[in-house]
């Protein structure tokens, strides 16, 4: 079985709307073309790991916020993942819907800004 190939998004520039992180991505989706064994829970922006000689290694740069749909990186200063990815402003809006541990993590990162 071959790894899946990109279906609708085969690359471009990923830019986090919060911190401005900007990197080329190779694929956006749930099934990475680099590994047939890994399925993501969300459509992620994926790039082949430039620091690895193993062609199956990849980096997940981020995804789109499940509420506002803006592109967001995985930095804890920019987003939180709980069943779906949330940018911190949307996580703050939905704060009471999260478990207390996630609420505490969101509050901590909001206070640091």
Q: What domain range includes position 104? A: 12-112
| 102 found inside a domain | yes
Position with higher pLDDT, 38 vs 71: 71
CB contact at 8 A, 80 and 102 = yes
| Sheet strand arrangement including 58-64 | 27-31, 39-48, 58-64, 71-73
Is 86 part of a structural domain of the chain? yes
Residue 2 falls inside a structural domain: no
pLDDT value at 25 more than 50:
yes
Give the model's confidence band at 3: pLDDT under 50 very low, under 70 low, under 90 confident, else very high.
very low
What's the number of CA atoms in the CB half-sphere (13 Å) around residue 3? 18
Residue 3 lies in a domain: no
**Does a structural domain hold residue 29?**
yes
pLDDT in tens, 63-74: 999 999 999 999
The token pair at 76 is 């804890």
Is the residue at 71 inside a domain? yes
Question: Is 33 a member of any domain?
Answer: yes
Question: Could you tell me if residue 103 is inside a domain?
Answer: yes
Query: Domain tally for the chain?
Result: 1
């Amino acid at each position: 079985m071959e790894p899946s190939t990109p279906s609708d998004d085969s690359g471009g520039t990923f830019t986090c709307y919060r911190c401005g992180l900007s990197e080329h991505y190779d694929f956006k989706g749930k099934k990475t073309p680099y590994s047939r064994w890994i399925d993501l829970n969300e459509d992620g922006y994926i790039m082949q790991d430039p620091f690895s000689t193993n062609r199956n290694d990849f980096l997940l740069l981020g995804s789109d916020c499940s509420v506002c749909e803006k592109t967001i990186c995985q930095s804890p200063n920019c987003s939180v993942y709980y069943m779906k990815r949330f940018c911190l402003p949307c996580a703050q809006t939905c704060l009471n819907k999260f478990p207390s541990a996630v609420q505490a993590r969101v509050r901590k990162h909001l206070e640091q800004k």
